[in-house]
Chains A and B, each alone.
Chain A
Amino acid sequence: MTAITRTYQVPGNDFARAGEASGHIKRILKELGFSPEMIRRVAITTYEAEINMVIHAGGGTVTATISPQAVAVVFEDHGPGIPDLELAMQAGWSTAPQNIRDLGFGAGMGLPNIQKYSDVFEIKTAVGQGTTLSVTIFAEGKEPI
């Protein structure tokens, strides 16, 4: 199998459609026969990042590159950026408003979870310009969850 790439446009503040990109990526991985542990790690990572994009950034672009060895996903938005990345990486810290918490999100676990379940985690952010999050999950990566 050669690497395949899929790109998704994620609309902002649309909670009926949030998760569509992650669901599609997950179905591709299932069809390709990746292990359940690998698929779950990718699913949690991409879903958390997609939800973040919908909540905080007004949407953005998700690009997934899938090879037998790894799944690399880039989340790019042109939202407000993250003013204090160190704070945002702390478990339990969140800026999500009450209406988002009412949906079951905003526990401040998004970025820590993404880092926890990915093998490579890189985030570039600038206030007023946006955020680019790049993650890679290797087929033979972290311990199974």
Chain B
Amino acid sequence: MILPPYARTLGIEIASGEADTPRLSLPFSLDVVGRPGFLHGGAIAGLLEFAALAALRHVLADDSVGIEPVTSTIDYMRGGRDKTTYAAGRVTRLGTRVANVEAFAWQDARDQLIAAARSNFLLVRPLA
């Protein structure tokens, strides 16, 4: 999987093997700071978006299918601190035209989420 330009701008890296649902990591840096000492809500939204997309691409396993975001709802649960953030997505339903995907972000422990997103993506399949 190749990360798009904005993911590279954020500093996102892929922190898992090819065979697994991709786990992304985001090192803390001045480029992703919001209020002093904390991650920017928009940077977290970007990380969650790419985690959701990566999970969906992983499940689809077909690069000819286009993916277009339609809605995204993000809950912020804890401030993102000066440390690495991890994120992974989970496809809750893969339909013909729509995919429902969740994504979660955490720092210290996976059960202590700093943010979560629920997104709907439109799937644009090539004409048969």
Chains A and B bind each other? no
Chain A residues at the B interface, C-beta cutoff of 8 Å: none
